[in-house]
Structure 1
Amino acid sequence: MAEQDTNYNLNPSLQENCKADINKFCKNGKHDKNVLNGTMDCLKAAFKQFKLSDKCEKEMADILREQALDINLNPLLRAVCKTELETICQIDEHENIEECLKKALISKKIPTPMCQMEVANMIEESQADIQVDPPLQQACSLDLIKFCSEVPQGNGRHIRCLKEIIPKKLSSGCRDMLNKRLEMYENAAQHAPPKDLHQLYYQVVASPSKHYFFLVIFMMIGSIFVIGIFCGRVSRRHMLIKNK
């Protein structure tokens, strides 16, 4: 499994289930298809934006879940967070290294910028599918069966389902873990700037300050409109004087 995470050609399941998605999202030359890390970058980005086909989305969720349970299956994270793994989250002292890195990011204990970005991306990936977040899935397993059994997996549906449930109806363990995760999602967005308009829109809508953002945008558009009217009147007046 560790070898599969270093070479795309050694993962036939990923090739079979994500062939069309790889050709669609990873053919722009920015990613090396022969290296799984390169292919995974574009697939992860598409996974976070809910753009993958159902088969590929499930395959990616399985891979990311395995990486969440065993950091040895995530060579990119081990490379960019080498310092943090040696100082903050030693493998022999923490049962879940990924969880340790998430907490370290939120508490601003990660000094390496690349590690900050990768952990933030990891948090966003877990927001896209609860299967990718084993601690949250375990804490809310009974609640998912009770309230969200008819909700399909993927596209962040299970997490949205839990958020829509009245907090008092959720078990205490699930409620506490879900609140921590919602706070974590907001903090992670500060370290993972949007790569396109879709991500920008998603972050603005998900932000607790979205009303402020919309107010600023409305004021900017209004200012442009007023300036346009003023300039139009000045131009018209200038033309009338010139014609006279």
Structure 2
Amino acid sequence: ITDCLKTYHKKVSAACYARLRKRQKLDVVLPGTDYSLTTKCAPLIQKYCANEKKQNILLCLRRNINQDNTPSICRNVLYRRLMILNSDARFNKGLIENCQNDIDRHCQNEIIDDDDNDDDESDDDDDNNNANDNNNNNNDDKNDKDTDDIQDRDMGGRIIGCLRSKYANTQVELEPKCITELIDVIQTSKLDIEIDIKLYQKCKIIINTNCTGVDKEDCLKLLYQKHLLQDSGCREEVRRIIKEGQADIHVDSALSSACQFDIIKYCNDVPIGSGKQLQCLIKKSKSVTKACQSILSKRQELWRSISHVDDIDDLARQIVNSDNKVYFYAVIIAVLFVIFIIGCLCRPCFRYRRMKNYKRTN
């Protein structure tokens, strides 16, 4: 029942969401207390994560999820927990700590006053004082306060979305420690397309119709490249994941594995992020292995497709959605201003010529 409520958390009442949110936070911060995860993934935990601290079990399971002996029931519950981490920055402690400066710099407009301190206090009370009636009453009061404090259920998702868009923009410099966290978030979303909630929600119908039995993400990229994605929302999400792959080779598993040897040989001293290692590979494209050269060529074709403009609407949308839209606006205004000045300077000449011709005819 709890997992069902977590799946439909956006539709539950405010009071239920406040309780559910605390439970979700506890599940990802202290996964050792997550009964569903620890029971359904017990064999995997015993084999690979026995020596890990309880708070690191989720990360350990994620690293080992692709093992052949991973039970499907464990995989399903683990995917749900990873969805929580990837859909709400407030639950991802490492992301918040390492990206705080970049959030303040680039994503401040996504933040509203949403006090998480009450959650932390309530979590401690739930863990340590469940047997005490007075403390339970205090917790109920705090839960009521949580209900009032939770003003925006989507804020955490918007923060992650903002950071990912800045990461995909090679013109924006993020701190290295934040880039590491974002690569971790993006690589996690590659485990299953449903973990990338925005992409899955926007493209669900298309995936079920056109991408059965094949890699869902590659299928969507191919449809985008062939201009077969009619839904604008889905098209924008696919454009996003293509740009993320263009920003860093390590979030594109196929390209990364094919070019692993070449990265070590030619680009090992190049810092990750902002497409730097990718540009290094492109410069060395004639020297890399055939496997790397082949997939790199296909990716370059894909990247060219995201800059394709079909009409004025596409051009306007790209300018509006661009992180450098202020620059584009400035260029457009400058061009219009120059045209205006030229018109002002040339007007007297045209007027003089017209008057001269008029006098001749008379």
TM, length-normalised to structure 1: 0.77
Distance (whole Å) between structure 1 residues aligned to residue 326 and residue 260 of structure 2? 31
Distance (whole Å) between structure 2 residues aligned to residue 107 and residue 37 of structure 1? 30
Distance 1:106 1:151, change over 3 A: same
Distance (whole Å) between structure 2 residues aligned to residue 111 and residue 63 of structure 1? 28
Distance (whole Å) between structure 2 residues aligned to residue 197 and residue 2 of structure 1? 27
Distance (whole Å) between structure 2 residues aligned to residue 186 and residue 63 of structure 1? 25
Which protein shows a greater Rg?
Answer: 2
Distance (whole Å) between structure 2 residues aligned to residue 111 and residue 30 of structure 1? 32
Structure 1, 186-195 or 114-123: larger mean CA deviation: 186-195
Query: Between Structure 1 and Structure 2, how many residues are aligned?
Result: 220
Structure 1, 76-85 or 192-201: larger mean CA deviation: 192-201
**Which one-letter code corresponds to 1:155 in the other structure?**
S
Please provide the CA RMSD for this pair: 3.2
| 1:9 match | 90
Distance 1:33 1:152, change over 3 A: farther
Q: How does 1:1-244 map to 2 (within 5 A)?
A: 1-29=82-110, 35-49=155-169, 50-90=172-212, 93-94=213-214, 96-165=215-284, 167-190=285-308, 193-194=318-319, 195-196=321-322, 198=324, 226-231=342-347
Counterpart contact for 2:263–2:281, Cα < 8 Å: yes
Distance (whole Å) between structure 2 residues aligned to residue 80 and residue 30 of structure 1? 24
- Aligned with 2:228: secondary structure? coil
How far off its partner does 1:233 sit? 5.5
Aligned identity (percent) is 28
**Which one-letter code corresponds to 1:116 in the other structure?**
R
Distance (whole Å) between structure 2 residues aligned to residue 201 and residue 169 of structure 1? 37
Q: Which runs of 5+ in 2 are unaligned?
A: 1-81, 113-151, 309-313, 329-334, 354-362
CA offset digits 1:131-180 (Å, max 9, x no partner): 11111111111111111111111110111001111x43121111111111
Counterpart contact for 1:21–1:52, Cα < 8 Å: yes
Distance 1:200 1:65, change over 3 A: farther
Distance 1:174 1:35, change over 3 A: same
Distance 1:44 1:199, change over 3 A: farther
Distance (whole Å) between structure 1 residues aligned to residue 298 and residue 337 of structure 2? 36
Distance 1:221 1:7, change over 3 A: closer
Q: Which runs of 5+ in 1 are unaligned?
A: 203-218, 238-244
